[in-house]
Structure 1
Amino acid sequence: MSFLRRTPAAVRERLLRGERLLVSAPSGEGHLAATDQALLLPDGGRLPYEEIEKASWDQRGLTVIRADGTTVRVAVTEPGRVPETLRERVNSTIVVNKHVNLPGVDGGVRLVARRKPGGEVLGWTFVFDEGLDPADPGLRAQAEQALEGVRRSMGV
């Protein structure tokens, strides 16, 4: 029996046209599945890989931190190959990941460019070092200036 036929129909029905199912795992609420485009959550939600900031696993399951700061938790006791597939797919959306020290402060900013799988660069994210205020207009201006330098040097 093929992998796709062993996957519950409720998961297969959620695939978008042309989307490929890569792996799936049962959870307390249904099935968690990774496709070539997104992580399909048991509650019917979908998380595009370019919107996932961080994912971690422990004995209780998966914790995902989205780019907007919200957290998603899924109880999965037997994740199978989902963790490594999720890591690979999220990493494939990162085009640039560069840390730049900011002048006059103790720290810097990580400049991250992301894209949809196989698509163009969607945008850049500033991840300030711990202790730096991302709302500080002076730091934002320095980060913007650093970004322009990185974009010029990398052609992105």
Structure 2
Amino acid sequence: MVDRLRTLLTGREPVPEGFAGTLDDGERVIADGRGPRGSVVLGTDRGLWLPPAASGEGAARVAWHLVSKATWANGALEVIEADEVDEIAGGVVLLADRPPRRVPLVEPGRLPETVHRRVTAAIKDSQHHDLGSGDSGGGAWFVQRRVPGAGIVLHVRPDPGTDPETVRTVAVGVAEKLREAGRGRAADEGRE
């Protein structure tokens, strides 16, 4: 009853008992779920907190813009986290996916919907491009994401086996086209 009253008065969900991490000042809980042994998984305004069993270390927060994919099926949340491996000219960030993590939830609450909503909201645009012909080309995902404190950032996630230099070259060209398009829109808006 006290937690419910606190939520109504503050507009914030309380941090569930048993949570193994430490939230940043001002970080708000949006949804939570419980694993089979009482582990707590949190969705906050800043990211997804995975329990120690799923992350291999203490509870760890994955920022929403670094969740490449999250699916809910058969009582488990499967999360693919991306690492920022390089920053290419023009502010383009090269990503590499980690192996999927399966997090069973016996009490999912609103967590699956919250994760879906937050990951989707971070994406402004997403396109896959083939980067060559035949077996040697490969491809990559070009994803414009909303990153707190940085605005819209172009993330590039190559398919396995894609030539890294080809990815870098194409990514720089795509970033330049996006900048030109942004300048064109700004000029058009200034004329109105």
What secondary structure does 1:56 align onto?
strand
Q: Would the alpha carbon gap of residues 122 and 11 (structure 1) be closer, same or farther in structure 2, given more than 3 Å must change?
A: farther
Which whole-Å CA distance do the structure 1 matches of 2:21 and 2:129 have between them?
Answer: 44
Q: Is 1:112 aligned to residue 143 of structure 2?
A: yes
State the match for 1:46 in structure 2.
Answer: 61
> Which residue number in structure 2 is paired with residue 150 of structure 1?
178
Contact 2:139 2:162 (8 Å CA) reproduced: no
Post-superposition offset of 1:53: 0.5
Selected match of 1:125 from 140, 144, 155: 155
Could you tell me which residue of structure 1 aligns to residue 109 of structure 2? 80
RMSD of equivalent CA atoms? 2.9
Does structure 2 retain, via aligned residues, the 8 Å contact 1:49–1:89? yes
Which residue of 1 is the match for residue 29 of structure 2?
21
Aligned residue pairs total 150
1:66 aligns with 2:74: no
CA 1:9–1:150: 2 relative to 1, 3 Å? same
CA contact (8 A) 1:109 1:143 kept: no
- Give the CA deviation at 1:18: 0.7
Matched to 2:35, the amino acid is S
Work out the CA distance in 2 between the residues paired with 1:108 and 1:127: 9
1:20-70 per-residue CA deviation (whole Å, 9 max, x = no partner) reads 111111112411111111111222111111111000111141111111321
TM-score (norm 2): 0.64
Between Structure 1 and Structure 2, whose CA radius of gyration is higher?
2
The structure carrying a bigger helix percent of its residues is: 2
Separation in structure 1 between the aligned mates of residue 104 and residue 126 of structure 2, nearest angstrom: 30
Q: Which moved more, 1:85-94 or 1:119-128?
A: 119-128
Partner Cα distance (1:149, 1:135) in 2? 22
Query: In the aligned structure 2, how far is the partner of 1:139 from the partner of 1:120?
Result: 22
| Structure 2 stretches lacking a partner, 5+ long | 8-12, 53-58, 84-96, 184-192
Q: 1:127 to 1:42 in 2, by over 3 A?
A: closer
* Structure 1 Cα separation of the partners of residues 168 and 20 of structure 2: 44
Pair 1:14–1:138, CA change in 2 (3 A): closer
Match of 1:32 in 2: 41
Distance 1:14 1:45, change over 3 A: same
Residue 108 of structure 1 and its aligned partner are, at CA, apart by 5.5
TM-score normalised over the length of structure 1? 0.76
